Structure 1
Amino acid sequence: MTTLKGLILKETDSGESSKSICVLTAEMGVIYIYVRGGRKSSKTVSATQSFSYSELCFEEKKNANGQVSRYLNSSEPVKLFYNIRLDAAKVALASYFSELLIYSGTEGQECKEVMRLALNTLYFLDEGKMAPDLLKCVFEFRLLCEIGMRPKLVGCAFCFKYEDDKMHFNFLEDRLECSSCCPNPESIHTLILDKQLLYIVRYIALTEYEKLFYFKISDKYLKKLTEFTERYVGYHFRKKFGALEFYKMLK
């Protein structure tokens, strides 16, 4: 038996009474666990519902081809993030976060920082301690940074200038280019970052978690930041996420 704490990202019905759950764990990344009778059993329903952080005890079995299947033995909720379920927009946003985590492809990898990011994000969403749209931007960009897609933000990729009135971010190369060095300032693959927006982007990418969720920005810069983070996700994942579109409809 293996016992781990995990965040339930998704539930999928299986048969008449069972289900499969997709779980983010710090030790094993994203894994799938089969829950016998999970749709009817009151013993597991709260601990295995989406957005619950729970202690899960499961057994692993290998088939003839070496493929591993996991079966839940017992579960205990640690944190349910109950308030998220009371707001349709919060549910949609949390579902988008789950889609991003699943698509990140972290199975079999240690994901301590990703888990920390996910739990902190759901806590701030649950408690309403940060504007949802800003929280979305923070999660989108920091998640990609944590899974190895942190861009080059120290300075211009050519002359190493730390900042400029206008810095161009090249999405194809994941780098900054100052106005003097940018080879193609009109490219559709670049976005202009002024000093304030560059500071915000660097802050999200590099600051420690104790400070990450404790800042505010104006609506003007939230709009700019949203464009940056959504384009960043789009260039790296090449996928549209249904929960994000639903969240935007509910706003």
Structure 2
Amino acid sequence: MQTLKCLILKERNVGEINKSISVLTAEKGVIDILVRGGQKSVKNSASTQLFTYSSLCVDEKRNSGGQIQYFLNSSELIRSFYNIRLDIKKTALASYFSELLLYSRTEQSGYHDVLRLTLNTLYFLDNSKMDIDLLKCVFELRLPCEIGLRPDLVGCANCYKYEDDRMHFDYISNKLYCDDCYCSDDNSSDTIVDKTLLYIIRFIALSEFEKLFYFKISDRYLKKLTAFTESFVAYIFKNRFTSLDYYKNI
């Protein structure tokens, strides 16, 4: 038996009385936990709801195929992020964050920064302390960075020029190029970034957590940043996220 601090990303019913929850943990990445009687019992209901952060005591067993399965023994609520569930747009955005985490799921250690990023993001979403469209961009760009897919933004991948009035980011190679060095027959994976947009992208990708959520940008650059981060996610994960479509249509 072990105790894990978990963020609940998804709930689904299993049979007539049980439910399964997908959770994000610092120690094991994303795992599934079976909650016996979870559909009807109120014992663990508050601490196993969507978007709650809880301390879960779990039993670990191996099935006949050698796979590890987790079963909830007891739980204690740490934080509920209750205000998110009161706003349909915030709920849709949090669902998008969960979908990104579930799609990129990895059962491994070393997810402390991913959990910290997600909890910080939900905190600002819950407390309305940041423009939620900007918050979305921050999470879209920083999550891949924390799971080993950080873009190469130090300078031009060819000549190492740090910045220029006009530079190119290639989504396929995940690299930055200056105007002189960029050469491609197919421009579909290329986006042009100016100095200001490049500074914003570098700030999100490279800054410390203590600074990450404390900045503002103009509406003009928010539109540019949104186009960049949505394209970045699409190329990195090679998937269309239905929760993003729903969020944008609200």
Same fold (TM over 0.5): yes
Instruction: Note the C-alpha offset of 1:109.
Output: 3.0
**Corresponding residue SS for 1:100:** helix
Determine the structure 1 residue equivalent to 2:40.
40
1:239-250 equivalences under 5 Å are 239-250=239-250
Contact 1:179 1:185 in 2 (8 A): no
Determine the structure 1 residue equivalent to 2:205.
205
> TM-score, normalising length from structure 2?
0.98
Determine the structure 1 residue equivalent to 2:172.
172
Q: Match of 1:226, as an amino acid?
A: T
Determine the structure 2 residue equivalent to 1:142.
142
> TM-score, normalising length from structure 1?
0.97
Instruction: Note the C-alpha offset of 1:130.
Output: 0.7
Q: How far apart are the structure 2 equivalents of 1:106 and 1:186?
A: 33
Q: Match of 2:20, as an amino acid?
A: S
* Worse-superposed segment, 66-75 or 182-191: 182-191
Q: How far apart are the structure 2 equivalents of 1:230 and 1:37?
A: 39
Instruction: Note the C-alpha offset of 1:64.
Output: 2.2
Q: How far apart are the structure 2 equivalents of 1:144 and 1:169?
A: 16
Instruction: Note the C-alpha offset of 1:242.
Output: 1.1
Unmatched 5+ residue regions in structure 2? none
CA RMSD between the two structures: 1.0
Contact 1:9 1:23 in 2 (8 A): yes
1:201-240 equivalences under 5 Å are 201-240=201-240
1:64-75 equivalences under 5 Å are 64-75=64-75
Q: Match of 2:219, as an amino acid?
A: D
Q: How far apart are the structure 1 equivalents of 2:108 and 2:147?
A: 13
Q: Match of 1:31, as an amino acid?
A: I
Q: Match of 2:212, as an amino acid?
A: L
The 1:103/1:114 distance shift into structure 2, 3 A limit, reads: same
Q: Match of 1:114, as an amino acid?
A: V
**Corresponding residue SS for 1:153:** coil
Instruction: Note the C-alpha offset of 1:40.
Output: 1.8
Q: How far apart are the structure 2 equivalents of 1:24 and 1:66?
A: 22
Contact 1:168 1:185 in 2 (8 A): no
Instruction: Note the C-alpha offset of 1:105.
Output: 2.2
**Corresponding residue SS for 1:148:** coil
1:68-87 equivalences under 5 Å are 68-87=68-87
Render the CA deviation track for 1:76-105: whole Å, top value 9, x for unaligned. 110000000000111110000000011112
Q: How far apart are the structure 1 equivalents of 2:186 and 2:223?
A: 21
**Corresponding residue SS for 1:161:** coil
Q: How far apart are the structure 2 equivalents of 1:192 and 1:16?
A: 53
Render the CA deviation track for 1:20-63: whole Å, top value 9, x for unaligned. 00000000000000001112211111100110000000101112
Determine the structure 1 residue equivalent to 2:129.
129
Q: Match of 1:60, as an amino acid?
A: E
Q: How far apart are the structure 1 equivalents of 2:109 and 2:237?
A: 19
Render the CA deviation track for 1:104-138: whole Å, top value 9, x for unaligned. 12212320000000000000000001111100000
Instruction: Note the C-alpha offset of 1:200.
Output: 0.2
Q: Match of 2:249, as an amino acid?
A: M
Q: Match of 1:218, as an amino acid?
A: S
Unmatched 5+ residue regions in structure 1? none
**Corresponding residue SS for 2:70:** strand
Aligned pairs, number = 250
Determine the structure 1 residue equivalent to 2:19.
19
Q: Match of 1:132, as an amino acid?
A: I
Q: How far apart are the structure 2 equivalents of 1:68 and 1:189?
A: 40
The 1:5/1:105 distance shift into structure 2, 3 A limit, reads: same
Instruction: Note the C-alpha offset of 1:185.
Output: 8.4
**Corresponding residue SS for 1:27:** coil
